[in-house]
Chain A
Amino acid sequence: MRVVRPVAQRLLALGPVLFGITLLVFALNAVALGDPARAALGQRADPEVLRQLRHEYALDRPLVVQYATWIGRLLRGDLGRSYRQQRPVTEVVADRLPATVRLALAATLVSVVVGVGAGATAAARPGSGLDHALMGAAVLGISTPVFWLGMMLALVFAVGLDWLPVSGYGGGDLAHLVLPALTLGALHTGTVARMTRGSLLDVVRLDYIQTARAKGLAEGTVLGKHALRNALIPIVTVIGIGLADLLVGAPLTETVFAWPGLGRMLVAAVGERDLPVVMGAVLVFAVVYVVGNLLVDLAYLVIDPRTRAAD
Chain B
Amino acid sequence: MAPGLLAALLVLPAPAAPQPGGAFRLAFGTDPPTLDPAQASDTTSSTVIRQIFDALLELDERLEVRGALAERWAVSADQRVYTFHLRAGVRFQNGRELGATDVKYSFERAARGKRPWVFEKIAGARDFIRGRSPGIAGIRTAGERTVEITLERPFAPFLYLMAYDAASVVPREEVARRGATFASHPVGTGAFRLAEWRHDDELVLERFPEHFRGAPLLNRIVFRIIPAEITRFNEYRTGNLDVTDIPTGYCRRVQRDPRTGHDVAIWPTLGTSAVRFNVERPPFDDRRIRLAIAHAVDPRVAVRGLLEDCVSPPRGILPPAMPGFNERVRALAFDPALARQLLASAGFPGGLGLPRVAYYYNTTELNQRIAELIQAELGEIGIRLELRRLDWAAHIMLVDDGTAGFFRQGWIADYPDPENFLTVLFHSRNVGAAGNTSRYRNAAVDRLLDEADAMPAGVARFRRYGQAEQLILDDAVWVSLYHYSSRALIKPYVRGLERSPLSSAPEFLAPLRKVWLAR
**Is B184 close to A, CB under 8 A?**
yes
**Is A48 close to B, CB under 8 A?**
yes
From A43, A99, A268, name the one whose CB has the most chain B CB atoms within 10 angstroms. Answer: A43
Within 8 Å CB of B240, what residues of A?
Answer: 165-166
**Is A198 close to B, CB under 8 A?**
no
**Given A39-B392, A87-B184, A167-B234, does the pair A258, B198 have CB atoms closer than 8 Å?**
no
Query: Count of chain A residues with Cβ under 8 Å from any Cβ of B?
Result: 50
**Is A271 close to B, CB under 8 A?**
yes
Determine the distance from Cα of A36 to Cα of B199 in the docked complex, in whole angstroms.
21
* Contact of A34 with B227 in the complex, beta carbons under 8 Å: no
**Given A38-B433, A45-B434, A86-B180, does the pair A264, B391 have CB atoms closer than 8 Å?**
no
Determine the distance from Cα of A240 to Cα of B435 in the docked complex, in whole angstroms.
51
Within 8 Å CB of A45, what residues of B?
Answer: 400, 433-434
Within 8 Å CB of B392, what residues of A?
Answer: 39, 271
* Contact of A44 with B33 in the complex, beta carbons under 8 Å: no
**Given A86-B34, A167-B226, A258-B228, does the pair A48, B130 have CB atoms closer than 8 Å?**
yes
Chain B nearest CB from A77 CB (Å) reads 19
Choose the segment among A105-113, A153-161, A185-193, A282-290 that binds chain B (4+ C-beta atoms closer than 8 Å).
A153-161
Within 8 Å CB of A124, what residues of B?
Answer: none
**Is A168 close to B, CB under 8 A?**
yes
Which residues 219-277 of B sit at the A interface, judged by CB distance below 8 A? 224-228, 230-231, 234-235, 237-238, 240
Which residues 17-61 of A sit at the B interface, judged by CB distance below 8 A? 32-36, 38-50
**Is B42 close to A, CB under 8 A?**
yes
* Contact of A169 with B201 in the complex, beta carbons under 8 Å: yes
**Is A226 close to B, CB under 8 A?**
no
**Is A146 close to B, CB under 8 A?**
no
Within 8 Å CB of A261, what residues of B?
Answer: 200
Within 8 Å CB of B238, what residues of A?
Answer: 158-159, 162, 166
* Contact of A168 with B393 in the complex, beta carbons under 8 Å: no
**Is A131 close to B, CB under 8 A?**
no
Q: Determine chain A's interface SS by DSSP, over half rule.
A: loop
**Is B460 close to A, CB under 8 A?**
no
Q: A87, A92, A256, A260: which contacts B231 (Cβ < 8 A)?
A: A256
Chain B nearest CB from A169 CB (Å) reads 5
Chain A nearest CB from B270 CB (Å) reads 14
Determine the distance from Cα of A84 to Cα of B202 in the docked complex, in whole angstroms.
18
**Is B394 close to A, CB under 8 A?**
yes
Q: Closest B-chain residue to A46, C-beta based?
A: B116
**Given A162-B238, A166-B234, does the pair A85, B33 have CB atoms closer than 8 Å?**
yes
Within 8 Å CB of B226, what residues of A?
Answer: 167-168, 258
Which residues 77-136 of A sit at the B interface, judged by CB distance below 8 A? 81, 84-87, 92, 95-96, 99
Q: Closest B-chain residue to A169, C-beta based?
A: B201
**Is B375 close to A, CB under 8 A?**
no
**Is B23 close to A, CB under 8 A?**
no
**Is B105 close to A, CB under 8 A?**
no
Produce 1/0 per residue, B385-409, CB < 8 A to A: 0000011111011101000000001
Q: A40, A46, A85, A168: which contacts B202 (Cβ < 8 A)?
A: A168
Q: Closest B-chain residue to A51, C-beta based?
A: B130
**Is A151 close to B, CB under 8 A?**
yes
Q: Closest A-chain residue to B390, C-beta based?
A: A33
Within 8 Å CB of A50, what residues of B?
Answer: 433
* Contact of A154 with B234 in the complex, beta carbons under 8 Å: yes
* Contact of A44 with B398 in the complex, beta carbons under 8 Å: no
* Contact of A154 with B231 in the complex, beta carbons under 8 Å: yes
Within 8 Å CB of A39, what residues of B?
Answer: 392-393, 396
* Contact of A32 with B394 in the complex, beta carbons under 8 Å: yes
**Is B424 close to A, CB under 8 A?**
yes
Q: A34, A48, A256: which contacts B397 (Cβ < 8 A)?
A: A34
* Contact of B116 with A49 in the complex, beta carbons under 8 Å: yes
* Contact of A46 with B434 in the complex, beta carbons under 8 Å: yes
Within 8 Å CB of A158, what residues of B?
Answer: 234, 238
Determine the distance from Cα of A32 to Cα of B392 in the docked complex, in whole angstroms.
13
**Is B364 close to A, CB under 8 A?**
no
**Is A66 close to B, CB under 8 A?**
no
Which residues 240-278 of A sit at the B interface, judged by CB distance below 8 A? 255-258, 260-261, 264-265, 268, 271-273
**Is B467 close to A, CB under 8 A?**
no
Within 8 Å CB of B396, what residues of A?
Answer: 34, 38-39, 43
From B129, B184, B238, B409, name the one whose CB has the most chain A CB atoms within 10 angstroms. Answer: B238
Chain A nearest CB from B157 CB (Å) reads 15
**Is B455 close to A, CB under 8 A?**
no
Which residues 147-180 of A sit at the B interface, judged by CB distance below 8 A? 151, 154-155, 158-159, 162, 165-169
Within 8 Å CB of B224, what residues of A?
Answer: 168, 258
Q: Closest B-chain residue to A83, C-beta based?
A: B33
* Contact of B117 with A268 in the complex, beta carbons under 8 Å: no
Q: Closest B-chain residue to A96, C-beta based?
A: B200
Within 8 Å CB of A84, what residues of B?
Answer: 33-34
Within 8 Å CB of B33, what residues of A?
Answer: 40, 84-85, 272
Within 8 Å CB of B42, what residues of A?
Answer: 42
Determine the distance from Cα of A264 to Cα of B31 in the docked complex, in whole angstroms.
11
Determine the distance from Cα of A286 to Cα of B122 in the docked complex, in whole angstroms.
51
Q: A34, A44, A95, A273: which contacts B424 (Cβ < 8 A)?
A: A44
Chain A nearest CB from B199 CB (Å) reads 5
* Contact of A49 with B201 in the complex, beta carbons under 8 Å: no
From A38, A92, A96, name the one whose CB has the most chain B CB atoms within 10 angstroms. Answer: A38
Within 8 Å CB of B390, what residues of A?
Answer: 33
Q: Closest A-chain residue to B183, C-beta based?
A: A86
Within 8 Å CB of A264, what residues of B?
Answer: 200, 227
**Is B456 close to A, CB under 8 A?**
no
**Is B21 close to A, CB under 8 A?**
no
Chain A nearest CB from B202 CB (Å) reads 7
* Residues in chain B within 8 A of chain A (CB atoms): 30-31, 33-34, 36, 39, 41-42, 114-117, 129-130, 180-181, 183-184, 198-202, 224-228, 230-231, 234-235, 237-238, 240, 390-394, 396-398, 400, 409, 411, 424, 432-435
Offer 10 A-B interface pairs, CB within 8 angstroms, sorted by A. Answer: A34-B394, A41-B114, A41-B433, A42-B42, A44-B117, A86-B180, A154-B231, A168-B224, A168-B226, A169-B201
Sample of 15 further A-B pairs with CB below 8 A, known A86-B184, A258-B228 = A33-B390, A33-B394, A34-B394, A34-B396, A38-B433, A44-B433, A45-B400, A96-B200, A154-B231, A154-B234, A158-B238, A258-B201, A260-B200, A260-B225, A268-B30
The list of the 3 closest CB pairs from A to B, nearest first, reads A34-B393, A33-B394, A42-B41
